[in-house]
Chain A
């Protein structure tokens, strides 16, 4: 079991990304409004205001999608689908996806109810 974290910088792709989640077999996910450290520092901390020019082209806000994955193959499928949607996660500024092991959970959608 893994926690899949995806920070989606291109928020305009959220709908397509969630469709990819469903297609890949992710039964549920939690979507958080989030913002990058660079944006916060440059726009909210006066000492770092001079770095705004280096933020050009970066998206100020993003979405963080959390989901617990039971089957590792889902991650592989999802990665391919998400790559198609956002144009490749290897491109800077697209998003960050990673997993961490989960050793216990409760409250998840039951396996037999998963889509």
Chain B
């Protein structure tokens, strides 16, 4: 199975990202993919993520969310990871707004790979020590290293 390093560039990690609400946050995170040749129409990608949010919330609880979508505008799977300056509600089961958000977007023909990656990310985020370390990361490179080192 491909590793997180294959999907995540260090430059797509943010600490203390400021965004206005769920939609603003998703647009801001999709915006961090600008210039990636495997992500075409950013507006279409953001729309797909927002449409997926309408289907069912992606808040996992404990202050974490994994908004995601498959989109024809993507030719490869990409991750963007951010801790937030101000928590954003993702309708998590515990009602807690998200402080750590992972955006995952990818092509429509990679359902199996997406399922595996989502499951892996959910497993990491269910680990209280990992969550605490991620939220305590003081800079993007520390947060990036935390994820790729956890991935082994």
Contacts and interface: CB of A to CB of B under 8 A. Distances in A.
Contacts of A41: 115
Contacts of B68: 50
B57 A46 contact: yes
B115 A47 contact: no
B50 interface: no
Interface residues of B, number: 16
B115 A51 contact: yes
Interface of A: 41, 46-52, 54
Contacts of A50: 52, 55-56, 68-70
Interface of B: 52, 55-58, 60, 66, 68-70, 93, 111, 114-115, 118, 122
Q: Which label, helix, strand, loop or mixed, suits the secondary structure of the B interface? A: mixed
A51 B118 CA distance: 11
Nearest to B65: A47
Contacts of B69: 50
Contact of B66 (A47, A51, A52, A54): A47
Contact of A47 (B70, B111, B118): B118
A66 to B, nearest CB: 28
A48 B118 contact: yes
Contacts of A49: 52, 55-56
A51 B68 CA distance: 11
17 contacts: A46-B56, A46-B57, A46-B58, A46-B93, A47-B58, A47-B66, A47-B118, A47-B122, A48-B115, A48-B118, A49-B55, A50-B52, A50-B56, A50-B68, A50-B69, A51-B114, A52-B55
